[in-house]
Structure 1
């Protein structure tokens, strides 16, 4: 189909009637200052035909003390079949901020073995800005899907992998939180967490890879990332809770990096009082 993990609104309009197309709305209420949902309970709009993919409450590990952790392949398969996703589906995910929560949905599907998944660059704001029609509500699946999850275990990682990476020159941890949180000069939004960062991690706030709600072009992304890591290194992205880390993973993918992993627990886990090392 296409080499990029992105599609734009023009591509989506052209393919809106494709039988294999599944559009998934994957919004999560933003907590990062400067990022806002354009939807609200009183004023809601959706791309016509879009179905809800809720990885914050539904497609996630149940009874976890950490937010929206990756579910088992069995639970993932069950939940996405319920929303009508098939083995041959071409999936386009979007969110109502622009580019905020949807990259995690994209990476989750890739982690479960599905490659025909793409992110709508600019999300719902770009769709509306193009003057395209919206629906007042989301759609439901007409039939159960036949999606089969085949987990790729390296695409998300736990703290043990990150701990090993702090002393591994073949790996580079990129922390996408703000510089203030990274350097422990600004408080963490979640109570009880330590300030600072992992040893050897570098800081590239995820907002820097965006331009007006869309991902920057490939040349800009390559320049940013090559200052921090080589394409031969394994790049582990980390953030506050595993959402915006996936924005960086998307940026790295577009820049040609392929040895990529997301620290699922991110700072919500690492920052807890523990023996995991933290430096200011």
Structure 2
């Protein structure tokens, strides 16, 4: 069988269906329920998918912030347990379209794995196309040989964000809704102030999507060009480092480079009273 390659950081349902049983391909379910959600519907997966639970397991459990990046050693150990190899081609999806899958994609990128993509439209698009689903099954196959090669520039901390906001060296784009960014809507997590970082720009992640799928590249380019210079190396933030990765995916598809995600995002910044917060007038 020929060696498979990913055509893009974003793959279609048709592409995945055509290659689902290729031995090089590995599908990961990286679903995370939105904060405050009361999901209780039936849970199904794409056949053969393995659960990549970055919210409950593949995270820094010692950090009180939600789903922070684990150490390279922990990440390596846990994804090996899922059968991930250095030469695996990984497609990540979630059950909402595109919501949390981009976080899984960016985590693998941050650990040095370039052959990873997001499924455009996720499980809803898969089912809408008439493809089969299956009940989840714990992975019980061979251990993988994945070796983490951390790319520290792909994630940053609050001090780095404050530096670039202060010196203006890099733009910061916030993926939260316009109402949350302006401080006119309460945050879903307790103890987190409303508002945004001084100097940050707002690009709600929903503006990049159309019915759970990424908008065409030309539309993505227009969204980013309205906020970024062509040579800008943006930092992305959101509520907890999940939907910021949708902005990273959109920016990469639109041609921007040098992208960074603020891991703690507003869960950290908004709860740290030493960090400045501003609100927009109604």
CA distance in 1, matches of 2:159, 2:56: 26
Does the CA-based 8 Å contact 2:112-2:150 persist in structure 1? yes
1:241 equivalent in structure 2: 240
Per the alignment, residue 109 of structure 1 pairs with: 108
Q: 1:86 touches 1:146 (CA, 8 Å); kept in 2?
A: yes
Q: Which runs of 5+ in 2 are unaligned?
A: none
Aligned to 2:234, what secondary structure does the other structure show?
strand
Secondary structure in 1 aligned to 2:167?
Answer: coil
| Match of residue 20 from structure 1 | 24
Are 2:157 and 1:138 aligned?
no
- The CA distance in 1 between the partners of 2:51 and 2:98, in whole Å, is 16
SS at match of 2:166: coil
**Contact 1:49–1:139, Cα closer than 8 Å, also in 2:** no
In structure 2, what is the equivalent of residue 196 of structure 1?
195
CA contact (8 A) 1:51 1:141 kept: no
Which secondary structure state, in structure 2, belongs to the residue aligned with residue 237 of structure 1?
strand
Q: Deviations over 1:154-187 (max 9, x none)?
A: 1010001100111233311001111111111111
Paired residue for 2:256? 257
- Give, in angstroms, the shift of residue 264 of structure 1: 0.3
Instruction: Measure the CA separation in 2 of the matches of 1:8 and 1:23.
Output: 13
Aligned partners of 1:248, 1:7: CA distance in 2, in Å? 17
Structure 2 length-normalised TM: 0.94
Question: Residues 23 and 51 of structure 1 are in contact (CA less than 8 Å); yes or no, is this contact kept in structure 2?
Answer: yes
1:193-213 Cα deviation digits (max 9, x unpaired): 121111110111110100000
Q: Which consecutive residues of structure 1, in runs of 5 or more, have no partner in the other structure?
A: none
Q: Is the 8 A contact 2:6 2:89 kept in 1?
A: no
Q: CA deviation at 1:45?
A: 1.4
Mapped partners of 1:231, 1:102: distance in 2? 26
User: Contact (CA 8 Å) 1:159, 1:265: kept in 2 or not?
Assistant: yes
CA distance in 2, matches of 1:231, 1:31: 33
Please say if residues 104 and 243 of structure 1, whose CA atoms lie closer than 8 Å, have aligned partners that are also in contact: yes
Counterpart-to-counterpart distance in 2, 1:32 and 1:234: 32
SS in 1 for 2:153: coil
Matches within 5 A, 1:1-280: 1-2=5-6, 4-31=8-35, 40=40, 43-280=42-279
Deviation for aligned residue 1:231: 3.2
Q: Is the 8 A contact 1:84 1:145 kept in 2?
A: yes
Deviation per CA, 1:100-134: give whole Å up to 9, x if none: 00000000000000000000000000000000111
Q: TM-score, length-normalised on structure 1?
A: 0.95
- Deviation for aligned residue 1:18: 1.0
Q: CA deviation at 1:137?
A: 1.9
Distance 2:7 2:199 in 1: 32
Moved >2 Å (runs of 4+): 1-4, 167-170
Corresponding residue pairs, total: 275
SS of the residue 2:171 aligns to: strand
Give the Cα–Cα distance (whole angstroms) in 1 for the partners of residues 211 and 222 of structure 2. 19
